[in-house]
Amino acid sequence: MHKVRGPSFSESIFKAYDIRGMYPDEINEDAAYKIARAFAGYLRIGKQKKDITIMVSCDARTSSPALKTAFVEGLVAEGAMVIDAGLTTTPMHYFAVNEANADGGAMITASHLPSEFNGIKLTKKYAMSLSKGAGMEEIKGDSIRGIFQNSVAEKKIVKKDFTDAYIEFLTARFPYLKEQIKKFVSGEKISGISFDTDEDRAMFQNEKGADIPGDIITALLASKFAKPGEKIVYDLRSSRIVKETIEFLGAEAIESKVGHAFIKPLMKKENAVFGGEVSGHYYFRDFFYCDSGVFAALAVLDTMRIEKKSLDGLVKPLFKYAKTGEINFEVEEKEKILDKVASHFPDAKISYSDGIKVEYPDFWFNLRPSNTENLLRLNIEADTPELLEEKKKLLSELIHG
């Protein structure tokens, strides 16, 4: 074991689900190098063999190539075999990790954040995420302390382009959409569908340009994948129409905490065919239980093709309830306010898996704390717009009061 000099990066870059910060003040090449060394050491824990293979790729941010180079140098210093997939989206990176049967992967990206930010998404085998409680604390501690295995090894780096294999993989699952697949993979736009920077989220608009909420798209895709005996995962902020649609079609609806760090392992554990989040992340068993904006877009287009309907025509029946969307409240004592709000509804069904979810027959709400900010995030749904406004006013007063 040996220790390298102290960090020139911010400890705040280690978040609950990934690593990200402002470049170069918070995250930089020093961070990438040390995180890579800590990551390689973490992946070796409990392994019989010392040889590990790690997939590395990056998005198109100007700072990404330099961070990727430093990350690769850190892996090499730990004696890892590196597959450099070059410039990819996050879903293509997940595909490459599984296609190469790698022991883990690192995607250099800050996802939807502006260009002055950058970050790293770390995954284990099968592209399962590292996160708080599942490896992030170990990576953070070792990176900051700078204590690593003193392993000097020859460079073992292979560069490989996965684009053709990725296109073939998607075409095999959506054979009638070959032209759209090539457009998505090459970065071309299709009207009514957009992605975040690294393409792990998809956003949809109807023919008039109005946004369609993520839980409504989840309900739509649930109708495509739901069959008796199948399981479908949805995040606890989702409209009741999602659970109702799944169960109407004979499948089992499984509610999850918010975030890919929870949904991906739950999908895998339950062998769920599909999962969706309000935020626009959609997960598929046919895509290694991972989230992919492109896979979701293709699934929606395929549904439109099969049903011979516009997207607006498909989703219109799913707008059954009145819903607020997410409302943020800046607070100091998050747990104290959660307890106060929960105590106001003694006759409700209350669950505590992610903040509090309070349910009545004609309305429900979820109030959950942010992992990174002094914020409480509120989602409310009711049978009528009038009841929704009444409960929104009540909850705002409870939280602010």
Name the residue with higher pLDDT: 98 or 186.
98
Looking at the chain, the number of H-run helices and the number of E-run strands are 13, 22
Name the residue with higher pLDDT: 84 or 51.
84
SS3 category, 229? coil
Exposed/middle/buried for residue 110 (C-beta within 10 Å: 0-12, 13-18, 19+): buried
CATH superfamily assigned to domain 164-318: Alpha-D-Glucose-1,6-Bisphosphate, subunit A, domain 3 (3.40.120.10)
CATH superfamily assigned to domain 2-161: Alpha-D-Glucose-1,6-Bisphosphate, subunit A, domain 3 (3.40.120.10)
Q: Give how far Cα 9 sits from Cα of 18, 67, 95, 143, 340, Å.
A: 16, 13, 30, 10, 38
Q: Say which of 57, 63, 111, 279 is annotated catalytic.
A: 111
Q: Assess whether pLDDT exceeds 80 at residue 6.
A: no
Sheet arrangement for strand 19-22? 19-22, 117-124, 104-108, 53-58, 81-87, 157-159
- In which band, very low, low, confident or very high, does the pLDDT at 15 lie, cut at 50, 70 and 90? confident
Q: Quick one: the chain helix, strand, coil %, rounded to 5?
A: 40, 25, 35
- In which band, very low, low, confident or very high, does the pLDDT at 102 lie, cut at 50, 70 and 90? very high
**Per-residue pLDDT averaged across 375-382, rounded?**
96
Q: How many CA atoms lie within 13 A of 30 on its CB side?
A: 15
pLDDT of residue 188: 87
Q: How many CA atoms lie within 13 A of 127 on its CB side?
A: 27
Lowest mean pLDDT among 10-24, 171-185, 210-224, 305-319: 10-24
Fold equal for 2-161 and 164-318:
yes
Name 209's bridge partners.
none
Name 365's bridge partners.
358, 380
Q: Assess whether pLDDT exceeds 90 at residue 385.
A: yes
> HEC profile for 115-157?
CCEEEEEEEEHHHCECECCEEHHHHHHHHHHCEECCCCCCCCE
pTM of the model: 0.92
Q: Assess whether pLDDT exceeds 80 at residue 5.
A: no
Instruction: Give residues with Cβ within 8 angstroms of 151, minimum separation 6.
Output: 77, 78, 79
Alpha-carbon distance of 220 to 112, in angstroms, equals 24
SS3 category, 69? helix
Q: Assess whether pLDDT exceeds 70 at residue 202.
A: yes
pLDDT of residue 132: 81
pLDDT of residue 7: 64
What is the pLDDT of the chain when averaged over all its residues? 93
Name the residue with higher pLDDT: 283 or 334.
283
Q: Assess whether pLDDT exceeds 90 at residue 39.
A: yes
SS3 category, 241? helix
**Per-residue pLDDT averaged across 359-381, rounded?**
92
pLDDT of residue 2: 46
In the chain, where are the structural domains located?
Answer: 2-161, 164-318, 322-400
Q: What is the pLDDT of residues 144-182, one digit of tens each?
A: 988 787 666 677 899 999 999 999 999 999 999 999 999
Residue 268: in which H helix or E strand, if any?
Answer: helix 260-270
- In which band, very low, low, confident or very high, does the pLDDT at 27 lie, cut at 50, 70 and 90? very high
**Per-residue pLDDT averaged across 394-399, rounded?**
96
Q: Which of 167, 180, 204 is nearest to 91 (CA)?
A: 167
**Per-residue pLDDT averaged across 187-194, rounded?**
90
Instruction: Give residues with Cβ within 8 angstroms of 133, minimum separation 6.
Output: none
- In which band, very low, low, confident or very high, does the pLDDT at 195 lie, cut at 50, 70 and 90? very high
Q: Residue length, the chain? A: 401
* Paired tokens of 292: 């992919």
Lowest mean pLDDT among 13-22, 123-132, 143-152: 143-152
Q: What is the pLDDT of residues 273-303, one digit of tens each?
A: 999 999 999 999 999 999 999 999 999 999 9
Q: Where are the beta strands (DSSP E) in 272-362?
A: 274-276, 282-284, 290-291, 322-323, 327-330, 349-351, 356-359
Alpha-carbon distance of 282 to 150, in angstroms, equals 41
SS3 category, 307? helix
- Which string of DSSP letters, residue by residue, matches 191-224? TTEEE-TTSS-EEEE-TTSPEEPHHHHHHHHHHH
- In which band, very low, low, confident or very high, does the pLDDT at 49 lie, cut at 50, 70 and 90? low
Residues 361-393: b if buried by 16+ CB within 10 A, e if exposed = eebbbbbbbeeeeeebbbbbbbeeeebbeebbe
Instruction: Confirm whether 143 is a catalytic residue.
Output: no
Q: Are 223 and 300 in contact (CB under 8 A)?
A: no
CATH number corresponding to 322-400:
3.30.310.50
What is the C-alpha radius of gyration for the chain, rounded to an integer number of angstroms? 22
